[in-house]
Structures are given as C-alpha cells and as structure tokens.
C-alpha cells in the first residue's frame, strides 16, 4: 500500500515570511498525482496545489509552489509571503493512477505569527 509521510506535525512562520512543509511518499508506480490540501478550522478540505508525476516542472499557484523530487519521492510545499489566512492543517496526498484512491499524510499544523 502507498504511504504518505509528513514528518513535521507543527510548523510556524512569521507573517510575510516563507515556510516549507515536507512530504515524502512511497510507491512503486511511475505515474501518479500528488496534492497539497489545506484544512482550516472550518474543516472543509481545500485543494492548494497538485503535481502530475510525469511532469518535471514544479507546479506553482500564486504564493504556493512545490519542490517535486521524483527520485527521492519527495514533495514539499513552499508558501511565500505567508498570510494569517494560511494558518491551517496542511495535508499531502497521493492519488493512485488507476485505483482512484487518495491517500493522505498525517498533516502539518501551520501557525502564522503576526
């Protein structure tokens, strides 16, 4: 079974600074999808960014970008110019290419300090 590991249970960042959240995963597949989801206190999961494994270029969405290292099976999320609204639990997720399942890491709780 695929596993997704987030080794940082908690992180904090000063407002306007940059923070990087780590994620590693284990798979024998060559083609798959990776996601970062944000879960604010309201509990609704929101997609932040996604990366297709076959693409070498790292995905970017405004202040959010990823560092995808396929050989190392690493998928970190960088948040630039952190804002108070970025405070949430962040989950890294892996999607199987054929099985449709999403597998989640244990999450990183991000605090943004004013």
Partner 1 sequence: DAMVIQNPRYQVTQFGKPVTLSCSQTLNHNVMYWYQQKSSQAPKLLFHYYDKDFNNEADTPDNFQSRRPNTSFCFLDIRSPGLGDAAMYLCATSRDLNRAFFGQGTRLTVV
Closest to partner 1 by CB, 18 or 54: 54
Contact 19, 11 (CB under 8 A): yes
- Closest contact distance (angstroms) between CB of 16 and partner 1 is 28
Residue 7 CB, nearest distance to partner 1 (Å)?
13
Within 10 Å of residue 103's Cβ, how many Cβ atoms? Answer: 17
Residue 36 and residue 105 in contact, taking contact as beta carbons nearer than 8 Å: no
| Nearer to partner 1 among residue 14 and residue 55 (C-beta) | 55
Look at the chain and count its residues. Answer: 114
Binding site for partner 1 (CB under 8 A): 4, 33, 35, 37, 42-47, 50, 91, 93, 95, 97, 99-107
The position carrying tokens 């596993």 is: 3
Nearer to partner 1, 13 or 107 (CB): 107
């Amino acid at each position: 079974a695929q596993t997704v590991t987030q080794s940082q249970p908690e992180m904090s960042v000063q407002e306007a600074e940059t923070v990087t959240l780590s994620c590693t995963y284990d798979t024998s597949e060559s083609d798959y999808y990776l996601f970062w989801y944000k879960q604010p206190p309201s509990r609704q999961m929101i997609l932040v960014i996604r990366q297709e494994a076959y693409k070498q270029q790292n995905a970017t969405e405004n202040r959010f970008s990823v560092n995808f290292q396929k050989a190392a099976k690493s998928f970190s999320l960088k948040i630039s110019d952190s804002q108070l609204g970025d405070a949430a639990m962040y989950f890294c997720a892996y999607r199987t290419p054929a099985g449709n399942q999403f597998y989640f890491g244990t999450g990183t709780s991000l605090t943004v300090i004013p």
